[in-house]
Chain A
């Protein structure tokens, strides 16, 4: 028994609130002087390696991918916390040059992953919010307290929470405070980097519901980063699948779930543990019977060594070809050329970075 809430599909404007074009963020490993003497080449981690994204008003984009594929790096580049090596970030159509200006900061705000380290342990919640409200002159000084109360109401915390320091709250409550801090600046876009990964399942649900409600009531656009595909499906209108620094598939949530085009997306969807359906109930389970996870595809062996560059979760200097090739079950000779995001013939809203993009479509009339 599951509850499906029938809502009309939300309509979004087509105007872009956030745009990312050709974004590249490389990290160069430290070389000791012995490395320099022996001419050991620099170890370059291509954490984000050419990403294009757009986010329309009111839209929620889910960003999924394995650990280390560059999701956090991308979010931080968007927030202007890193200076990307190349590419451009646009807030509301206006390019961000260098650091975002004070006004631009107010357009895009972020909710962080770790509710335990993302709040300053030595400031009360009221101080944290008050500082932002004052510095950004969101409300006149004499209304800062009233506005803080409103923010507490918005995220469902009692007013006296303002007088406490973060350590006096549980993980879920802290994440609410983190959301209130982001909302204090009245942003149009919220970047949520794994906002529920550090939380217990039941607390997770309250935060997901809260974000969904806020999105509706405030008309926020959101980039929702997660490695949990079920959570992403729950909140997103559109999904971007990231693999080793690049987007390998994007499209509307339902279409991607129904018919993933990239082999990595297929693996990802097949690997998600699923609740055993109730149809098997009462069925006696033999000790020798396999209960193993559903799909044999999920057990493809191609799993990396951390020290072997072509197999690591991020791309590093000096490799070529499709970045999924080492693990790909359907790789072919053509894959030594890296495919860009190729449009999917029958659906202009979708694209996938695989030469097989249009092969054996499920929905193709046979």
Chain B
């Protein structure tokens, strides 16, 4: 059986006053039905642009310049624009970070949920209403009948995000794209919203692409993970492998830059410098100038995403992909050294 969604070598360019901003530079990913994959990376690494390219909803001047999107084994890339957008939006829905701006402030939330069943699926008014209430119930909104008539500003952030999820579900998608769905929420509420998304994935065998900058959130909700840096996937694999055996220095550093809530004071690893300007990406590995392990070769070739020797599911785009395992033997003192060096 072919995966639900396959993306091959996606490139997105955005024309800017002096040249082209290469926002996405060859991203490939796959999602199966009932699978949840995570995309992490720092701000500006192209996570949102990738998602929007999948839906055909890129911001104005941006354009997909290369790559293919295969949905259920059917390559939709060649379809005429209107038809492609329809096929893609029928199969996928998106949840955004800011639920307050994602909702129409002057429309009752229930009507916003009922809109798609009514307009696109052609349900009667009462059937659409019943459907909306059912969806609200499914995403865990208590007293859905009463809240049907609420306006967005009358609901708390967590409730609003659930409304957004209900709207996303109303089109009966098979894949949900969630762009930082919980970043604006408090931790206690975040846990609930993630739980809702995860339950839907299990119950409806939905595919989920969850974008976040929080590795812990991803590790709790996804089975596979893609780490993006400067418009590329630089490491991907099953979540456990990746967390335990990170092969790419960026992932390695990222994992140690976040404080662990369960550990007392520990020195955090920092990543010096800044990501490259995507309008003029230098030759070689784009992480090289910031990399603690860079060697002269890193400035010459940009390493491709290569499977790790004994794990075909785990790939890393680092020149040291072969030798990297030895990091595992590093003692805390070695890492401390690294901390002092950076």
User: Please, could you name 25 A-B residue pairs with CB atoms under 8 Å apart, sorted by A?
Assistant: A1-B330, A4-B264, A4-B332, A66-B187, A66-B188, A67-B186, A200-B213, A201-B213, A202-B270, A205-B268, A206-B272, A230-B260, A234-B259, A270-B191, A272-B216, A273-B194, A274-B220, A276-B220, A278-B240, A282-B240, A288-B202, A291-B220, A298-B195, A303-B158, A305-B159
Contacts of B243 in A (CB 8 A): 275-276, 278, 281
| B-binding residues in A (CB < 8 A) | 1-5, 7, 66-67, 170, 200-202, 204-206, 208-209, 227, 229-231, 233-235, 253-254, 257, 267-276, 278, 280-283, 285, 287-295, 298-299, 301, 303-307, 311-312
Is A268 a contact partner of B244 (Cβ separation < 8 A)? no
Contacts of A287 in B (CB 8 A): 32-35, 201-202, 205
Q: Which of B188, B260, B266 has the most CB atoms of chain A within a 10 A radius of its CB?
A: B188
The one of B43, B216, B241, B244 in contact with A273, judged by C-beta atoms closer than 8 angstroms, is: B216
Report the separation of the CA atoms of residues A231 and B332 in the bound assembly, to the nearest whole angstrom: 21
Contacts of A3 in B (CB 8 A): 256, 266-267, 269, 332, 335-336, 339
Contacts of A170 in B (CB 8 A): 274
DSSP class of A's interface residues: helix, strand, loop or mixed?
A: loop
Is A290 a contact partner of B270 (Cβ separation < 8 A)? no
B235 to chain A, nearest CB (A): 15
A362 to chain B, nearest CB (A): 16
Report the separation of the CA atoms of residues A285 and B241 in the bound assembly, to the nearest whole angstrom: 12
Is B202 a contact partner of A271 (Cβ separation < 8 A)? no
Is A5 a contact partner of B336 (Cβ separation < 8 A)? yes
Report the separation of the CA atoms of residues A281 and B43 in the bound assembly, to the nearest whole angstrom: 28
Is B33 a contact partner of A1 (Cβ separation < 8 A)? no
User: Are A293 and B213 also in contact (CB < 8 A) when A278-B244, A281-B245, A303-B189 are?
Assistant: no
Is B216 a contact partner of A202 (Cβ separation < 8 A)? no
The one of A1, A283, A307 in contact with B332, judged by C-beta atoms closer than 8 angstroms, is: A1
User: What band does the interface of chain B fall in when counting residues whose beta carbon is under 8 Å from A?
Assistant: 35 or more
- For residues 204 through 254 of chain B, which have their beta carbon under 8 Å from a beta carbon of chain A? 205, 213-217, 219-223, 238-241, 243-245, 253-254
Is B241 a contact partner of A282 (Cβ separation < 8 A)? yes
A111 to chain B, nearest CB (A): 18
The one of A67, A209, A271, A280 in contact with B191, judged by C-beta atoms closer than 8 angstroms, is: A271
Contacts of B217 in A (CB 8 A): 273
B153 interface residue, CB < 8 Å from A? yes
B206 to chain A, nearest CB (A): 10
Report the separation of the CA atoms of residues A227 and B259 in the bound assembly, to the nearest whole angstrom: 13
Extra contacts besides A234-B266, A292-B199 (11): CB < 8 Å: A1-B332, A5-B265, A201-B213, A206-B270, A267-B188, A271-B191, A273-B187, A273-B214, A275-B243, A291-B221, A292-B194
Is B270 a contact partner of A209 (Cβ separation < 8 A)? yes
Report the separation of the CA atoms of residues A289 and B35 in the bound assembly, to the nearest whole angstrom: 10
Contacts of B42 in A (CB 8 A): 200-202
User: Are A299 and B192 also in contact (CB < 8 A) when A2-B260, A201-B42 are?
Assistant: yes
B62 interface residue, CB < 8 Å from A? no
B140 interface residue, CB < 8 Å from A? yes
B155 interface residue, CB < 8 Å from A? yes
Closest 9 CB pairs of A and B: A281-B240, A287-B34, A278-B244, A230-B261, A273-B216, A276-B219, A205-B268, A298-B191, A285-B223
A289 to chain B, nearest CB (A): 8
Is A305 a contact partner of B154 (Cβ separation < 8 A)? yes
A5 to chain B, nearest CB (A): 5
A174 to chain B, nearest CB (A): 13
User: Are A2 and B263 also in contact (CB < 8 A) when A275-B216, A275-B243 are?
Assistant: yes
B163 to chain A, nearest CB (A): 12
Contacts of A291 in B (CB 8 A): 36, 198, 220-223
Residue of A at shortest CB range from B182?
A: A273
Residue of B at shortest CB range from A298?
A: B191
Contacts of B157 in A (CB 8 A): 67
Is A293 a contact partner of B186 (Cβ separation < 8 A)? no
Contacts of B142 in A (CB 8 A): 301
Is B257 a contact partner of A205 (Cβ separation < 8 A)? yes
The one of B159, B260, B274 in contact with A275, judged by C-beta atoms closer than 8 angstroms, is: B260
Is B270 a contact partner of A205 (Cβ separation < 8 A)? yes
Contacts of A307 in B (CB 8 A): 150, 154
B203 to chain A, nearest CB (A): 9
Contacts of A254 in B (CB 8 A): 264
Report the separation of the CA atoms of residues A170 and B244 in the bound assembly, to the nearest whole angstrom: 31
Report the separation of the CA atoms of residues A206 and B290 in the bound assembly, to the nearest whole angstrom: 14
Is A7 a contact partner of B219 (Cβ separation < 8 A)? no
Is A293 a contact partner of B214 (Cβ separation < 8 A)? no
Is A293 a contact partner of B191 (Cβ separation < 8 A)? yes
- For residues 100 through 157 of chain B, which have their beta carbon under 8 Å from a beta carbon of chain A? 140, 142, 147, 150, 153-157
Contacts of B85 in A (CB 8 A): none
A58 to chain B, nearest CB (A): 15
B218 to chain A, nearest CB (A): 9
Q: What does the 1/0 interface line of B143-186 toward A look like (CB < 8 Å)? A: 00001001001111111000000000000000000000000001
A245 to chain B, nearest CB (A): 16
A187 to chain B, nearest CB (A): 23
Report the separation of the CA atoms of residues A274 and B194 in the bound assembly, to the nearest whole angstrom: 13
A159 to chain B, nearest CB (A): 18
B272 to chain A, nearest CB (A): 8
Report the separation of the CA atoms of residues A301 and B137 in the bound assembly, to the nearest whole angstrom: 13
Is B254 a contact partner of A202 (Cβ separation < 8 A)? yes
Report the separation of the CA atoms of residues A304 and B162 in the bound assembly, to the nearest whole angstrom: 13
Is A2 a contact partner of B240 (Cβ separation < 8 A)? no
A278 to chain B, nearest CB (A): 4
Is A271 a contact partner of B220 (Cβ separation < 8 A)? no
Is B186 a contact partner of A66 (Cβ separation < 8 A)? yes
B16 interface residue, CB < 8 Å from A? no
Report the separation of the CA atoms of residues A229 and B265 in the bound assembly, to the nearest whole angstrom: 13
Is A233 a contact partner of B154 (Cβ separation < 8 A)? no
B262 interface residue, CB < 8 Å from A? yes
